[in-house]
A = this chain, B = another copy of it.
């Protein structure tokens, strides 16, 4: 299916795209204890995988027993644990215990969505950010990343493979990632997430290009509905990426403990990408707003053209009809004069010519 078609079917797409307006509202009842990990009825434990590596060795397995995980700490330079779900409070709590993570940060992991941020805790850093996909509606998944001196813990909101390319690089033994510490791994994860925004933005660029042609050629009400939905998605994207910019800028300017200075230059590269995404989102929003003007003016001009045709027809034929009406009257004098037909024809011809000349002088006909 052509990607652009997504924005062509208003109602179905509307249902899918309703998400952004609502998305940020799944909150606990006001007054709930902070750091409380909510019990979600029916939540099943997520799949937790562990990947530990040094420059020369690598081990990988699914975690069933958190004690084994605890025993692995300190034995490998980098231990990467990934959970592909955040609804199961018990799993989140036990992972938090193993790595000594703060309750508030764990609550943020479970309470989706959070504002993107990078919070420094004692000895580790907690980064929350959102990954964008378009499948086939805009889908913003929250990823929580904890970076410690010898571990990285990532929480995905849903199962899926956004981080597989990073895993593949580790498995393939790429020198830099294998030789670097957990901060480089965290950077690689964040970079992979940020880079997912580019193909998503491409979908919107295509949709805007398609809309531009359609509006110029055959404006129809569905254009504006699609434009509205694109605007709404762009707002959601902006809301997702904007706070990340601040968080990354702060980390680049003053890296906190688990990050080493060497990683700074990589984070700066990542910050550049975030800036580029924001530039593009802003540009697309302005293009969308300019297309709104284009639509409104195109419709106005078409209404104007239609009115011109109506006015010309009506203003010419209604007076002519009136003349025929006069001669159609059943009155005494109107009958039986031989010259009446040529006379009335001449009358009507002159009236029509005068009116045509008037409209021509007004520029409504013949000059386009």
Contact = CB atoms under 8 A, between A and B. Distances in A.
Nearest to A172: B33
A284 interface: yes
A50 interface: no
A311 to B, nearest CB: 4
Query: Which residue, A102, A304, A313, A335, has most C-beta atoms of chain B within 10 A?
Result: A304
A34 interface: yes
Interface in A195-245: 195-196, 198-199, 201-202, 205, 208-209, 212-213, 216, 218-221, 224-225, 228, 231-232, 235-236, 239, 243
A276 B115 contact: yes
A266 B104 contact: yes
Given A209-B18, A322-B317, A325-B325, A301 B228 contact: no
A302 to B, nearest CB: 6
Nearest to A206: B22
Nearest to A292: B293
A367 B142 CA distance: 45
Contact of A276 (B24, B308, B314): B24
A192 B228 CA distance: 35
A300 interface: yes
Majority secondary structure, A binding face: helix
A328 interface: yes
A275 B108 CA distance: 14
A268 B216 CA distance: 44
A110 to B, nearest CB: 13
B294 A296 contact: no
A341 to B, nearest CB: 4
B220 A115 contact: no
A330 interface: yes
A324 interface: yes
Contacts of A294: 224-225, 228
A25 interface: yes
A12 interface: no
Nearest to A313: B315
Interface in A1-50: 10, 14, 18, 20-22, 24-25, 27-35
Contact of A268 (B119, B220, B298): B119
A59 interface: no
A109 B135 CA distance: 32
A61 interface: no
Interface string A139-157: 0000000000000000000
Contact of A195 (B18, B32, B163, B220): B32
Given A115-B272, A313-B318, 13 more contacts: A21-B205, A21-B209, A24-B280, A31-B165, A32-B195, A33-B176, A228-B291, A228-B294, A299-B301, A299-B304, A325-B328, A329-B344, A332-B338
Interface of A: 10, 14, 18, 20-22, 24-25, 27-35, 102, 104, 108, 114-115, 117, 119, 121, 162-166, 168-169, 174, 176-177, 188, 191-193, 195-196, 198-199, 201-202, 205, 208-209, 212-213, 216, 218-221, 224-225, 228, 231-232, 235-236, 239, 243, 265-266, 268-269, 272, 275-276, 279-280, 283-284, 286-287, 290-311, 313-315, 317-322, 324-338, 340-341, 344, 362-364, 367-368
5 shortest interchain CB distances as A-B pairs: A31-B165, A324-B325, A30-B195, A31-B192, A327-B329
6 contacts: A10-B216, A27-B198, A30-B193, A31-B191, A102-B265, A104-B265
